[in-house]
Amino acid sequence: MNKTLVIFAHPYFEYSKANIRLIEAYQNIENVTFRDLYEEYPDFNIAAFKERKRLMVYDTIIFHFPMIWFGMPPLLKLWIDEVFDMKWLSGLDTSPVKGKKAYIVLTAGGSQNAYTHNGIYGNPAEDYIKTLTQSLKINHVSVEDIIIIYNSDQLSDYELDHQCKNIRKLALST
């Protein structure tokens, strides 16, 4: 059975009604490990060697985070910079992350219409996380899907339940 690592990064988690509910979807699933970067690294001092060793054990990585000022949360960006270090990746015959699958679960405060070329933000939400998708692709990690949950903190309980079911289904299928 495949092993899945969920990397969650939210600097203001306690204020996010949506993400508090959404991460419940990962609970009690065999072979799914949930990690909260802000809980594990509050000082931003990432143990890159430990993270690299950990990554090699998993087949699939789910990155779950909110859009913060049109990009990734700062700690997730730092995690990518530290863990996907080119010296580590290029010093090996084959990339230790080559062939792994990745999914991105992104929560956005704005509407889907806002994230269009004609919308207030001028670009699709996917454009604002190119740093992550390109980092994965250049390291031969297949980005299988990007799930964007728009208006995340205005979702009704019914809509949140629906999104939780979708995320749980994703986690169970990896």
Cβ neighbours for 156, distance < 8 A, ≥ 6 positions apart = none
pLDDT digits (tens, 9 = 90+) for 5-59: 999 999 998 889 899 999 999 999 999 999 999 999 999 999 998 998 899 999 9
91 pLDDT exceeds 60? no
How much is the pLDDT for 174? Answer: 86
CATH architecture of 4-173: 3-Layer(aba) Sandwich (3.40)
**pTM across the whole model:** 0.94
Query: What is d(CA 151, CA 162) in angstroms, rounded to the nearest whole number?
Result: 14
Kindly report the average pLDDT of the chain as a whole number.
93
Determine the average pLDDT of the residues in 150-174. 95
Query: What is d(CA 52, CA 172) in angstroms, rounded to the nearest whole number?
Result: 24
Determine the average pLDDT of the residues in 113-128. 96
Q: Which amino acid is at 90?
A: S
How much is the pLDDT for 132? Answer: 96
Write down how long the chain is: 174
Residue 141 near residue 97 (C-beta atoms within 8 A) = yes
